[in-house]
A and B are shown apart, each in its own frame.
Chain A
Amino acid sequence: MTALTRPSTVSAALARDRLGVFSVIYFALSGVAPLTVVAGVVTTAYAVTGLTSVPAAFYLVAAVLALFSVGYIAMSRHIRNAGAFYAYIARGLGRPIGVGAASIAVFSYNLLQVGLYGAFGATAASFAAQKVGIHWWWWEWALAAWAVVAVLGLLRVDLNSRVLAVLGTAELIVIVVLTLTGLSHPAGGSFSLGTLAPGSMTGGGVGAALAIAVLGYVGFETSAVYTEEARDPKRTVRIATYLSLGLIAIVYTAASWMLAARYGEHHVAAVAQQQGPGMLFGLGSPLLANIGQTLFLTSLFAAMIAFHSAVGRYLFPLGREQVLPSGLGRPSRSGAPRAASLLQSFVGLAVIITYAVAGWDPMVKLFFYLGTTGGFGILVLAAVTSISVIVFFARDRRGENLWTAVIAPVAAAALLIAMVWLAVANYATLLGVPPNSALAKIFPAAYAVAAVIGIVWAAVLRAARPDVYRNIGRGADAVTQRVPVAPASGMPQVGGSTL
């Protein structure tokens, strides 16, 4: 029976082309853009919210997301559809909620993407003015970045994964060096661990700190998209997800704690308001500061491309399944979902022009408001997905153990729902506006509107296009699970062309 041990040449050839743990980490981290989070999100969060519980929030959120990933990744092995949240929610909680979730996803990723134009524009404008004496408005830089993203999105020149890997690694090194530098001169001569204690989360604005921390991890969920491409579907994606979550949790927690320790818990907000991202870069030598600022710009740019593609990733399956106009599901010669890319670019252009005309602040009102609101949307999606995972495995355990199929998803769902609740309750703190501000109601309410639009649209499809409705979120599984009844022999045909 030597034939039994004969290796499959096909499997061996495919294995060479499959993604290992590090490739999946790089793909997942390319959307995370660590310097965007540490230099952009953390410093603006201190400035706007004044919350010093951000460092503790980072590692607590990582723990919750790791718990969420247990069931989420297990489900990715059974759904085998790169549509991520949308497909999972449609399969677990039904088609109407699936379309509602897709609507939330498209809205969230658009907010995350367009928000970055604010940070890029503001940073590039001040950097260019200081270093090379070019004085452009923030929106001129934003429009330049927008044009490049629009063209690259159409051509599907996704930044090469090696380039991203080099940039991401360089970003991490700069953050680590700046963190160590900052820690060598703590405020008052000693380290305060206060901002790291989970107890710091008990104060007001805990929901806001958690929502900001979630924003830092957006993109981690893309790892599940690569399940099909992974070398070992059971292990590769799981290990990659936990490693990337762990790695960025340590970096974010340490860097945000360092900033609070370096400038002092009571002064960090004031310093952040004065210096912005400069409070991080100013810690290093002039050379390191220049490198850091340059990498901050490339990091923002990489994140723009990643979120631009993410919007396409949600619009594409909706087009394919004809839930939205089918043009959105048509790939171009380059493989890019062209119409989806154009639509996202149009949204970006409209937002940049609106902010420029209105004269709104790009860093706070564009980057931070829209970014945190986008991150909140991803938190909502994760919460709904975790419920979907519970329902999916409740119907059929599919060989998964109790921890994976029940305990972890239930615990993750409870924690994520609590986080959504807290974020909504503290939304005014999140935006740094008075508690009775209309903005604190409008932003979270926009998601309810997006979800309702999706659910109503699903109902319209059920009535008007039952064939399309039946297909929502189905992918290939429905047919291939059937047992073959007969080979298709004997079909009455003549040879040659079919036409």
Chain B
Amino acid sequence: MDWFSSHGGAHAQPQRGQVPAEPVPPVPARTTARPASATGQHAHIRIADDLFLISHRDWDGKPLLPDRVLGLALAGAALCELAMLGRVTVGDGILIVVSDADPTEELAQSLLRQLLSQPEPLPLRDWLAYLASGVTAAVGDRLARAGAVEVRKGLRGKRLVPVDSSDAFFKAGRLAVMLDSGSQFNPAQAALIGLVNAVGLIERLPCVNPAAIRARASVIMQSLECPLDGLIAETTAVVDNAILTGRT
């Protein structure tokens, strides 16, 4: 049986392994979250874009992480985006689609269609492992389409280099400042912190007090709620396992 016997939008009848998409009260803003968009639509939050920029050197686009580690983390980020849109959740380690309504954003759309193309829900770790091989290029393409990065050819092949290197630098800088100053984090920002921590880049954020930043980051990660907490925890675990088994 397919995940969805009919593609009837967000209110499709729940099937096996699927959590009904009940109307959920909005998560209270524990954060400095900016107000919802005026249209009432939940526009797309690009966690993966920010993670991509933070995990590449701002001035020449050199990756700061091994390919597989980056891929796993970006796969986690892309799935967090889908979770933020209310399309997926995680239960017992299984990634479950809760709404098949087509997202407007291209990457999310293709990702959701991929999830729906499988005969039954699969473990989140399987999805992370599977998506890790192609998601880096997909997120890079999305950034390129948005004009945030451009392809530059060098001695070491093609690299995606931020068009505005100071903007890319300030992503990391702003994250560090927010952590340092005790700012409140919205769920997307908290998820980003979780992913940056998962790949060990918290240490590389430009800051004067790394210990305080780490402590603050772990407090923020504990505030993550379902399903972002599970997504971050599983992404962290697969990154750890990749490093420990040397399959990076």
Contact = CB atoms under 8 A, between A and B. Distances in A.
Interface string A60-97: 00000000000000000000111100000000000000
Contacts of A436: none
A219 to B, nearest CB: 14
A9 B240 contact: no
Nearest to A468: B218
A330 B200 contact: yes
A199 interface: no
Contacts of B125: 228
A498 B46 contact: yes
B188 A491 contact: yes
B97 to A, nearest CB: 10
B83 A81 contact: no
Contact of B89 (A6, A478, A488): A488
A132 interface: no
Contacts of A468: 218
Contact of B246 (A1, A11, A158, A493): A158
B141 interface: no
Given A156-B246, A483-B91, A494 B37 contact: yes
Given A489-B24, A492-B36, A497-B46, A335 B86 contact: no
Contact of B19 (A82, A487, A491): A487
A202 interface: no
A498 B84 CA distance: 12
Given A467-B219, A475-B237, A496 B46 contact: yes
A312 B82 CA distance: 35
Contacts of B159: none
Interface string B77-97: 000000111111111110010
How big is the A interface, by class?
Answer: 35 or more
A495 B45 contact: yes
A488 B27 contact: yes
Contact of A335 (B85, B124, B192, B246): B246
B137 interface: no
Contacts of B245: 82, 225-226, 228-229
A480 interface: yes
A320 interface: yes
A493 B226 contact: no
Contacts of A17: 129
Given A10-B126, A333-B65, A491 B27 contact: yes
A485 B37 contact: no
B24 A320 contact: no
B37 A486 contact: no
B73 to A, nearest CB: 11
A489 B92 contact: no
A490 B26 contact: yes
A438 interface: no
A106 to B, nearest CB: 14
A401 interface: no
A433 interface: no
A4 interface: yes
Nearest to B85: A489
Interface string B125-158: 1110110000000000000000000000000000
Given A482-B226, A484-B226, A492-B35, A316 B244 contact: yes
The 7 closest A-B pairs by CB, nearest first: A489-B86, A495-B43, A335-B248, A476-B237, A82-B244, A335-B66, A330-B200
8 contacts: A7-B119, A83-B240, A331-B65, A484-B96, A484-B230, A487-B227, A490-B27, A494-B36
Given A489-B21, A499-B175, 10 more contacts: A17-B129, A335-B68, A467-B218, A467-B219, A467-B222, A479-B230, A490-B25, A493-B42, A495-B45, A498-B50
